[in-house]
Chains A and B, each alone.
Chain A
Amino acid sequence: MTDPLPPSLAANPRLDGWLDFSARGLVTVRPGKVEYGQGVWTALAQIAAEELDVRLDQVRIAPVSTATSPDEGVTSGSRSIEDSGGALHWVCAQARAALLAAAAARLETAPATLSVRGGEVRTAAGGTGLSYWSVPGQPGRAAAPGAAAKPPARWSVAGRSVPRIDLPDKVTGRPRFLHDLVLPGMLFGRVVRPPAVDATLVEVPDLGHPPGTAAQVRSGDFLAVIAETDRAAVAAAARLARAARWTVRDSLPDERDLKGFLLAAPAQAQPVVQRRDRAAAGRVTRQLAAEFSRPFIAHASVAPSCAVARWDGDAVTVWSHSQGIFALRGALATGLGLDPARVTVHHVEGAGVYGHNAADDAAADAVLLAREVPGRPVRVLWSRADELGWGPVGPAMLARLSAGLDAAGRIQVWRQDVWSNGFIGRPGTGGEPRLLALSHLAGAAPIPPALDGPPSGAMGATRNAVPGYDIPDLGVTRHRLLAMPIRTSSLRSLGAFLNVFAIESFMDELAAAAGADPVAFRLAHLTDPRARRVIEEVAGLAGWATRPRGTGGTGWGLGYARYKGVAGYCAAVAEVAADTAIHLRRLWLAVDVGRVINPDGVINQVEGGAVQSASWALREQVRFDRARITSVTWDSYPILRFTEVPRVAVRIVAAPGQPETGAGELAQGPVAGAIGNAVADAVGVRVRDLPLTTEQVTRAIEEA
């Protein structure tokens, strides 16, 4: 029996769409997944080198473009190694098999007597002069089932830590980011955003053409300038912002009452899981209930979003650091009434994005401005304030949990209700462009509320809303908000961050009620051996059994989840110290992500996810008044700094026989749970509302 083609390959079956041998001695691989610092191109190069039997330094990764790359959808959800990597295993194995078959025919021998090294075909006696570069027609054919990828036991390039192929440029300052792109004749645009989410531009004087200014652009509430230099554009935009008159209306909820907003907003309730067990429910002798919440959280990339666009006749070319260039192309075409074939989007690396940030919006800005100056490229760079104030954010959430224990301290019943705006607001979702500038044009409608995927699909607020423990009677309901006063979309790990924080906090509360140790209590509700293994490993790594107890001011906590319920396993232990503030000292993590292509790449992603999750859990909340986002600087939107980050230890639990699962997002939930439990251990009071700032801890102590 042969496996079906991987989905990315089935959608893009021509092998020469993925591989190019036109440069002698080199292999160019064309993935449809983009690099934004997660190291995916290095891992894909390892897979290609492994299956083709070429050296890693013979592999080049082609820039991703709608003109030349396979459409692999959005680079998100920790799916690149599974999707793109899964396709490349097949493509490269098939190319290698085709090379060997062709060489065997020429040499009048059996393929099994031949091998490939460095891309050259060899016999036991030595080289044959045949290679990927000398045998014509490699690999111009369609993928077919039956290609035999190497078993991991035979890997020599994949499965080992190799240095990232993109880092040498980044330590020497060589131009590599979109922000560094300079095109001939390029102009510079800056957009003047409204002073509030709901605002109407009443009047704006035409400031004419101050020195260096090429154009002033207005349509409806979209206001911008184009200039010969970026500094002239910045100056002109500032003058325009001072001169423009707007009508401003309040439209945002009260940031001090996010729960009230979440519960009062119109919402659609849908069951996620309904598994009733009357016998189990009858065994309940003790019930607990609690509510957990998170605020709106910003992506807060260190680089403001950037884009370049150029119109040539009725065709437009866009350079963007979007995670989904094919969706962006479609959204631009839909929004502007263009033939998608006339829109080309080239991906150029930006900084880390961590979900759907303003990258796509910047591309729409550039397209609109470039239309004013046909034939000339226009670059748009967002300001820091716009990046923090106008990009989509991760939604505020509320999780209401209740559970029943039996007399022996086992969980018999669990209920979980989750309120949230949708997480799916990327360009093109639901047929809507969902691009900020287009929603400000004359006559345009606001961006509609974000979607959230099917309730059972773990594609939004429901991600990890279903506890992964053995519980007989289980009911989980999603309440998707149908009004979106603050624009929301995907943020790394989607609903898993709050859901796992809530579930793992509640598990500790239930363990305490049952008089059980947190590790033992979890293991008593887990039969999956891979789940048990990561918990046992992290407990050992951290020294859980011998942790200091009752030392006053120090606390330890555990968190666990299997990401999406079906992907990678992660368990985390946190150690905090509490005095006038919460200090996160150390994190230990154990992960099982199936087969691993680049172990150091996995550890880097897990470390980074853990630190970012800690920053969300301890510091971060989007601030706003009734009209606008107010946390628009690094002072008002603080993230964890060098003097505040914990030491992090990561252990990979080997599972070479299991499919790869991705590693970029699985730490977010367990780390939040571990920190929450460590804080409760340290201060003796459960803090259920994120972030775990001094103010929230103090409030929880006062209310206890």
Chain B
Amino acid sequence: MKRDIQLTVNGVARVISGEPETPLLDVLRHDLGLAGPRFGCGAGLCGACFVLLDGAARSSCDLPVSAAAGRAVTTVEGLAVADRLHPVQQAVLDEQAAQCGYCTSGMIMSAVGLLRAVPAPTEAEVRAALDGNLCRCGSHQRIIRAVLRAAAAGRAGD
């Protein structure tokens, strides 16, 4: 049964008219036209669709949009302030921490979520935080370096 669901996406209040069980990812990509969160598996097992939900990183492909009602959703499109990239985005560029880049936005969201909770993580903490994000190209080491670099920059989080 369709109904109206209110949520905040990248700081903008939105009203979505649809089935409450529709995956949040589907709403973000198809209804709101956001390309950053990506479909990888539909089961919350690969991390390509990660967003921040009230500041914590999680998968959006297996989350009913109704569960995001009244909450703040942030996608990779919502990280930059004006033309200034978020420190994690900048660090990914600085470290050239990607190959195909399909999983990159999900990893960036995991890293942003981590740095909000743990501003100065160890390498082991970074690895653990990113363990839900799969990378098939083998860019892991560069991504770990990028997260540590963003943390060291001391500008992470907002």
Question: Which of A176, A302, A354, A648 is the one whose CB lies under 8 Å from B103?
Answer: A302
B105 to chain A, nearest CB (A): 5
B92 / chain A contacts, CB cutoff of 8 Å: 167, 171
Q: How far is the CB of B20 from chain A (nearest CB, A)?
A: 13
The answer to the question of B17 belonging to the interface, with a C-beta cut-off of 8 Å to chain A, is: no
B residues 18-63 touching A (CB-CB < 8 Å): 22, 26, 30, 33-43, 45-46, 48
Chain B residues 58-104 with CB under 8 Å of chain A are: 75-77, 80, 85, 89, 92-93, 96, 98-104
B122 contacts the other chain (Cβ, under 8 Å)?
A: no
Name the B residues within 8 Å of A230 (CB-CB). Answer: 26, 30
Shortest Cβ distance from residue A149 to the other chain B in the assembled complex, whole angstroms:
27
Residue of B nearest to A598 (CB): B96
Q: How far, in Å, is B88 (CB) from chain A's closest CB? A: 9
The answer to whether A177 and B144 have CB atoms under 8 Å apart is no
Instruction: Determine the chain B residues whose CB is within 8 A of the CB of A641 once the complex forms.
Output: 131, 134
- B99 near A231 (CB under 8 angstroms)? no
In this complex, the interface size class of chain A, counting residues with CB under 8 Å from chain B, is 35 or more
A303 CA / B104 CA spacing, docked (Å): 12
Question: B138–A611 contact, CB under 8 A?
Answer: yes
In contact, B43 and A37 (Cβ under 8 angstroms) = no
User: B130 near A: Cβ within 8 Å?
Assistant: yes
A167 touches B46 (CB 8 A): no
Cα–Cα distance between A37 and B39 once the two chains are bound (Å): 18
- Asked whether A643 lies within 8 Å of B104 as measured between CB atoms, the reply is no
In the bound complex, residues from chain A placing their C-beta under 8 Å from that of B99 are: 37-39, 352, 604-605, 608
Bound-state CA distance A379–B127 (Å) is: 36
In the complex formed, the residue of A with least CB distance to B103 is A302
Output the nearest chain B residue to A384 by Cβ-Cβ distance. B41
User: What 1/0 flags go to B110-136 for Cβ under 8 Å of A?
Assistant: 000000000000000011101101111
Would you give the shortest CB distance from A63 to chain B, in whole angstroms?
A: 16
Interface presence of B142 (CB below 8 A): yes
In the complex, which residues of chain A have a beta carbon less than 8 angstroms from the beta carbon of B130? 642
A170 to B146 alpha-carbon distance, docked (Å): 15
B98 and A634 within 8 A (CB): no
Which B residues are CB-close (under 8 A) to A301? 102, 136
| Highest count of chain B CB atoms <10 Å: which of A350, A351, A648 | A351
| Complex contacts, A205 vs chain B, CB 8 Å | none
- Would you give the shortest CB distance from A553 to chain B, in whole angstroms? 20
Residues on the B chain within 8 Å of A182, using CB: 33
Within 8 A of B (CB), among A642-694: 642-643, 645, 647-648
* Residue from A171, A174, A302 within 8 A of B46 (CB atoms): A302
- Given A351-B100, A352-B99, do A172 and B131 touch, yes or no (CB 8 Å)? no
Report B-chain residues with C-beta under 8 Å of the C-beta of A607.
138-139, 141-142
Please tell me if A166 contacts chain B, counting CB pairs below 8 Å. yes
A144-177 to B contact mask, C-beta < 8 Å, 1/0: 0000000000000000000110111111111111
Chain A proximity of B44: nearest CB distance (Å): 10
Give the chain A neighbours of B134 by CB distance below 8 A.
302, 634, 639, 641
Q: Does B149 contact A (CB under 8 A)?
A: no
A36 within 8 A of B: yes
**Given A229-B30, A611-B138, A303-B133 contact (CB < 8 Å):** no
**Among B30, B39, B138: residue with most chain A CB under 10 A:** B138
Say yes or no: is A633 at the interface (Cβ < 8 Å to chain B).
yes
> A179 near B: Cβ within 8 Å?
yes
A384-B43 contact given A171-B89, A351-B100, A634-B134, CB 8 Å threshold: yes
Report B114 CB to chain A, min CB distance, Å. 11
Is B141's CB under 8 angstroms from A647's CB? yes
Q: Which single member of A164, A354, A648 contacts B141 (CB below 8 Å)?
A: A648
A696 vs chain B, min Cβ distance (A): 22
Q: Quick check: is A300 within 8 A (CB to CB) of the other chain? A: yes
Q: In whole angstroms, how far apart are the Cα atoms of A349 and B26 in the complex? A: 21
Give B59 Cβ to nearest chain A Cβ, in Å.
12
Specify which of B43, B98, B143 is in contact with A633 (CB 8 Å cutoff): B43
Which A residues lie within 8 Å of B151 (CB)? none
A170 touches B98 (CB 8 A): yes
* A166, A172, A354, A612 — most chain B CB neighbours (10 Å): A172
CB of B26 within 8 A of CB of A303, answer no
Which interface residue of A174, A182, A384, A642 has the most chain B CB atoms within 10 A? A642
Asked if A383 is an interface residue, CB under 8 A from chain B, the answer is: yes
- Which chain A positions have C-beta within 8 A of B96? 163-164, 167, 600, 604
B14 interface residue (CB < 8 Å to A): no
A381 within 8 A of B: yes
Asked if B15 lies at the interface with its beta carbon under 8 angstroms from chain A, I say no
Q: Determine the chain B residues whose CB is within 8 A of the CB of A609 once the complex forms.
A: 138
A425 at the interface (CB under 8 A from B): no
Distance in angstroms between the alpha carbons of A604 and B75 in the assembled complex: 27
Tell me the complex Cα distance, A163–B139, Å: 15
- In angstroms, Cα B75 to Cα A36, docked, is 23
B98–A167 touching, CB < 8 Å: yes
Closest approach, in angstroms, between the C-beta of A590 and any C-beta of chain B? 17
A166 touches B77 (CB 8 A): no
Report which of A349, A351, A383, A647 forms a contact with B136, defined as CB distance below 8 A.
Answer: A351
Complex contact B35–A177 (CB within 8 A):
yes
Q: Separation in Å of the B136 CB from the closest CB of chain A?
A: 5
B152 interfacial contact with A, CB 8 Å: no
Cα-based distance from A383 to B131 in the complex (angstroms): 22
CB contacts (< 8 Å) of B131 on chain A: these are 641-643
Q: Which of B36, B77, B101 contacts A37 (CB 8 A)?
A: B101
Residues of B within 8 A of A633 (CB): 41, 43, 45
Taking a contact as CB atoms under 8 Å apart, the answer to whether A171 and B102 are in contact is no
Q: B98 contacts which chain A residues (CB < 8 A)?
A: 37, 164, 167, 170-171
Contact B45 A172 (CB under 8 A): no
* A304 contacts the other chain (CB 8 A): yes
- Tell me, rounded to whole Å, the shortest Cβ–Cβ distance linking A449 to chain B: 27
Does B148 count as interface, using CB distance less than 8 angstroms? no
Is the CB–CB distance between A172 and B40 below 8 Å? no
B36–A173 touching, CB < 8 Å: yes
The CA of A163 and the CA of B93, in the complex, are separated in Å by 8
A608 lies within 8 A of B139 (CB): yes
Alpha-carbon distance between A174 and B101 when the two chains are bound, in angstroms = 12
Q: Are B48 and A172 in contact (CB under 8 A)?
A: no
Q: Are A608's CB and B89's CB within 8 A?
A: no
A-B contact pairs, 29 of them (CB 8 A): A168-B93, A171-B85, A171-B104, A179-B39, A230-B30, A301-B102, A302-B40, A302-B48, A302-B100, A303-B100, A303-B102, A349-B100, A351-B100, A381-B39, A384-B40, A384-B42, A604-B139, A608-B138, A610-B138, A611-B141, A634-B43, A634-B46, A634-B134, A639-B134, A642-B130, A642-B131, A642-B144, A643-B128, A645-B138
Q: Give me 20 other A-B pairs in contact (C-beta within 8 A), A300-B136, A611-B140, A639-B136 excluded.
A: A164-B98, A167-B96, A170-B101, A170-B104, A173-B77, A174-B35, A179-B35, A231-B22, A301-B136, A302-B135, A303-B40, A352-B102, A381-B39, A605-B99, A607-B139, A641-B134, A642-B127, A642-B128, A642-B144, A643-B128
In the complex, the 3 A-B pairs of residues with the closest C-beta atoms, listed nearest first: A173-B36, A37-B100, A611-B138
